[in-house]
C-alpha cells in the first residue's frame, strides 16, 4: 500500500479539525485517494501538548511532546520536513499574509511538495505570485477551504460552470458579521451589545476587526473575482464597508418594506466591466439570502444561461473547514493536480470599475428631527440630480430621533452624494446622520 505522506503546519481550529478527519476516516479516504494511504507524518505547532489534548490527537503525531516551542524550534522542524523526500504534501493552517507566510508557501513548493491552505488573506495578497511559482516548479496548490469553509464553491466554479458565464456573485461570506446582524434584527439591540454577545458565545474573536470591517469578506471576494473573471487579486480595489455603522433602526425600516440588512460580498459583470463591493445591503424577503441567519454562509451565483444557483453551508468551524482541506488532499493524492486561480481565465479582458458608477436602487435613511418641510427638501434634492423616488416607507421614531426612509430608483452613489450635498446646503441643520444602502 502506497503512503501519501503529509505534514500539517499550524494546529488551530482548521489544522486540528483536518487531522481529526484524516484519522477518523482513514479507510474511506484511502478508497477515494485511489488506494493511497493518507498519513500524517508530523504536525508542527508552537503548542504541541495543548493542541494534542484540545483536538484529541495522539502526541506521537506532533513534532515534539513539549508544552511550548519557540518560533526558531518550529522553523527548524519545518526545514527538516521540507528536506524529507518522503513527504508529498504540506498543509499550511497558520493564517495571515505576512512575508513569513508568503516565503513559507514558496519554500514548501520549491522543496517539491504540493501545498494545501485555508489562508484567504495570503491568496488575496499574493495569490497570483504563489500560483505562478507553483507552475514553475511543477507543483499544485489546493485552496478550497479559503473561501466559505465547508461550501465546495471553488471546484463548482472551476468545473461546473465551464459551459456558462457567471454574471453575478452575491453572498454572505462572513459568519461573524452575519451572526451579529441576525441578532440585531431579532433582539432589537445595538451593534456594540451584539458584538459582546458574539464574543461571549465564541462567534467573534477578541479582536474581530477583519470580520466586522469587511476585510475577511473582501479577501474571499477577491479570490472569487480572480477565479471567475481573471482579474488578479492584487489589481483589485473596490468599496469595502463593514457592519460597525449599522443602526438597530435600520432593521426597523427594513422590516417595514419586508426586508432585512445583510453584509454582502457582491460582484457583477456588465459587458467587459466588473463592479464589486463588500457592504451592507437591503435584502428583500423573496431573496433566498433573506433567511440565512446566524453564522451560516450563503453564495448566490447568477449565470447567463443556467440562471440562479445558491450554495449554503458552514463558512467556518474546525471540522467544517477541515473537510475542505482534506478534500483537496484527497484530490491531489489521486490526481496529482488541482486547477489554480488562472486555469479558467476568460478570453475577455475584464476590468474592475468603480462601484460609485454602478446603478442600483438604494434605501436612503436620514436621521433628523421631525421638522416641517423635511420630506419636501429631500424629494426636491433627489429630483434635482435625476433620482426618482419609488416609495417613502413609514418613518421610525427612536428616542429623540426621527429616521426618514426613502426608496429611490436605480442611480449611482455619485448621484446620491450630490443629493446629500444639496440637502445640507439648503438646510444645514436637517441631517444629523445619514446612509444609503443598496437594495439587492
Q: Which positions are catalytic?
A: 220
Is there a contact between 281 and 440 (Cβ–Cβ < 8 Å)?
yes
Identify the burial level of 49 via C-beta atoms within 10 angstroms of its C-beta, where 0-12 means exposed, 13-18 middle and 19 or more buried.
Answer: middle
Give the residue carrying C-alpha cell 483536538.
Answer: 55
CA distance 21 to 35: 17
CA distance 75 to 72: 5
Cα-to-chain-centroid distance, residue 179? 14
CA distance 148 to 341: 16
Residue 344, phi then psi, degrees to nearest 5: -105, 25
What counts of helices (H) and strands (E) characterise the chain?
15, 17
DSSP letter at 18 equals H
Identify the burial level of 424 via C-beta atoms within 10 angstroms of its C-beta, where 0-12 means exposed, 13-18 middle and 19 or more buried.
Answer: middle
List the Cα angle 316/321/326 in 5-degree steps: 180
Is there a contact between 90 and 78 (Cβ–Cβ < 8 Å)?
no
Give the residue carrying C-alpha cell 444609503.
Answer: 436
Amino acid at each position: 500500500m502506497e503512503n501519501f505522506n503529509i505534514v500539517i503546519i499550524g494546529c488551530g481550529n482548521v489544522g486540528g479539525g483536518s487531522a481529526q478527519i484524516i484519522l477518523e476516516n482513514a479507510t474511506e479516504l484511502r478508497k477515494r485517494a485511489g488506494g493511497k494511504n493518507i498519513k500524517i507524518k508530523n504536525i508542527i505547532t508552537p503548542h504541541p501538548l495543548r493542541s494534542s489534548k484540545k483536538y484529541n490527537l495522539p502526541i506521537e503525531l506532533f513534532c515534539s511532546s513539549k508544552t511550548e516551542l519557540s518560533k526558531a524550534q518550529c522553523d527548524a522542524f519545518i526545514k527538516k520536513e521540507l528536506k524529507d523526500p518522503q513527504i508529498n504534501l504540506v498543509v499550511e493552517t497558520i493564517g495571515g499574509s505576512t512575508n513569513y507566510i508568503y516565503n513559507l508557501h514558496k519554500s514548501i513548493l520549491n522543496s517539491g511538495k504540493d501545498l494545501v491552505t485555508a489562508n484567504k488573506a495570503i491568496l488575496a495578497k499574493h495569490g497570483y505570485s504563489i500560483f505562478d511559482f507553483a507552475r514553475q516548479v511543477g507543483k499544485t496548490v489546493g485552496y478550497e477551504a479559503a473561501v466559505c469553509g465547508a461550501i465546495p464553491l471553488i471546484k463548482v466554479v472551476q468545473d461546473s460552470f465551464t459551459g456558462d458565464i457567471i454574471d453575478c456573485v452575491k453572498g454572505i461570506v462572513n459568519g461573524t458579521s452575519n451572526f451579529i446582524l441576525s441578532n440585531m434584527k431579532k433582539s432589537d439591540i445595538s451593534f456594540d451589545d451584539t458584538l459582546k454577545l458574539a464574543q461571549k458565545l465564541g462567534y467573534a474573536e477578541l479582536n474581530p476587526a477583519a470580520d466586522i470591517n469587511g476585510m475577511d469578506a473582501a479577501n474571499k471576494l477577491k479570490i472569487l473575482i480572480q477565479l471567475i473573471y481573471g482579474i488578479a487579486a492584487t489589481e483589485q480595489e473596490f468599496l469595502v464597508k463593514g457592519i460597525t455603522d449599522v443602526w438597530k433602526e435600520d432593521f426597523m425600516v427594513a422590516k417595514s418594506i419586508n426586508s432585512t440588512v445583510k453584509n454582502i460580498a457582491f460582484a457583477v459583470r456588465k459587458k467587459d466591466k466588473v463592479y464589486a463591493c463588500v457592504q451592507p445591503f437591503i435584502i428583500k424577503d423573496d431573496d433566498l439570502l433573506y433567511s440565512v441567519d446566524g453564522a451560516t454562509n450563503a453564495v448566490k451565483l447568477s449565470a447567463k444561461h443556467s440562471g440562479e444557483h445558491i450554495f449554503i453551508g458552514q463558512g467556518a468551524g474546525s471540522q467544517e473547514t477541515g473537510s475542505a482541506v482534506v478534500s483537496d488532499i484527497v484530490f491531489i493524492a489521486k490526481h496529482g493536480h488541482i486547477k489554480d486561480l488562472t486555469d479558467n481565465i476568460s478570453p475577455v479582458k475584464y476590468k474592475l470599475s468603480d462601484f460609485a458608477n454602478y446603478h442600483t436602487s438604494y434605501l436612503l435613511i436620514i436621521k433628523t428631527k421631525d421638522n416641517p418641510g423635511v420630506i419636501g427638501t429631500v424629494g426636491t434634492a433627489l429630483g434635482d440630480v435625476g433620482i426618482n423616488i419609488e416609495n417613502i416607507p413609514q418613518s421610525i421614531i427612536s428616542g429623540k430621533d426621527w429616521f426618514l426612509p426613502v426608496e429611490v430608483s436605480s442611480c449611482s452613489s455619485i448621484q446620491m452624494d450630490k443629493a446629500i450635498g444639496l440637502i445640507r446646503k439648503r438646510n444645514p441643520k436637517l441631517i444629523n446622520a445619514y446612509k444609503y444602502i443598496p437594495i439587492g
